[in-house]
Amino acid sequence: MLKGCRLGFIGGGNMAEAIIKGLLAGGVTAAELVVAEPMAERREFLQSAYGIDVRADNGEVAAMTDALIIAVKPQVFRGMASALGAAGFAGKLVISIMAGISIGGMEEACGGSSRVIRVMPNTPALALAGASAICRGKNATDDDLFFAQGIFDLVGTTCVVDEKLMDAVTGLSGSGPAYVFMFIEALSDAGLKNGLPRDVATRLAAQTVLGSAKLLLETGDHPGVLKEKVTSPGGTTIAGVASLERDAFRGTVMAAVDAATARSAELGKK
């Protein structure tokens, strides 16, 4: 997929590891990847687990690669970019997976002519089942966008959006795994309350969520249509649905996404 292009990572944390895992599973060779990671223990782990070149120096990695994925914490990015200098980013595609830093901020820090792609992945990418939203800067080309999509399709699914929607993406799919885990935990607790062993309740709850999501994606049906197929007149499911509606389940979920979206926008202004 890289077509002779060497891909570098600045930062070797969990999300970078997920992308590396997906790339290798998708046929990219270890020789096409190199990582800059400051922690010696983490460098040793990535080298031994994936057979890739991992170095301590950001500048070395930038100098030997054609495209960079920036996978550091947002609060350390500007210092890192300043130390690397505009020359370190010159001529490269720069892909950011950092929350809260706009394309404009990336372009300013990396040099005004930088080709920037911004991506908001989520943690299920660690299981190669992530949901990523992608937007591009003014200098990025169609080929750059296609290249970035190819990377993140290997760890899940991608959607191209306007940057103005990235806060909503953060509130929905970025923060969404936490909401889903809470839902699974609640289902498991309810199973326990009604006599199921904990391991059985959790396994049934998790598989129910997984299977329901897979069914929706494969059929393309509206969630309401699939809900109707489970719900029969006077049955058990409609009794449970009625209880959820009484307790404002849907409104509560929507309010959570609203709150996370607003917080993302707030953090982006700092």
Residue 8 marked ligand-binding? no
Q: Are 31 and 11 in contact (CB under 8 A)?
A: no
Residue 73 marked ligand-binding? yes
Q: Output the CA torsion sign for 70, 64, 130, 40.
A: negative
Residue 64 marked ligand-binding? no
Residue 156 marked ligand-binding? no
Residue 122 marked ligand-binding? no
Residue 58 marked ligand-binding? yes
Residue 184 marked ligand-binding? no
Q: Are 172 and 264 in contact (CB under 8 A)?
A: no
Task: Write 46-52 long-range contacts (CB < 8 A, 24+).
Answer: 46/12, 46/17, 46/20, 50/17, 50/20, 50/21, 50/24, 52/20
Residue 209 marked ligand-binding? no
Helix axes 142-153, 14-25, angle to 10 degrees: 90
The tokens of 159 are what? 């959607």
Nearest alpha-carbon partner for 88 in 56, 42, 132, 57: 57
Residue 10 marked ligand-binding? yes
Residue 15 marked ligand-binding? yes
Q: Are 36 and 8 in contact (CB under 8 A)?
A: yes
Residue 211 marked ligand-binding? no
Binding site per annotation, positions for NADP(+): 10-15, 71-74
Binding site per annotation, positions: 10-15, 58, 71-74
Binding site per annotation, positions for NADPH: 58
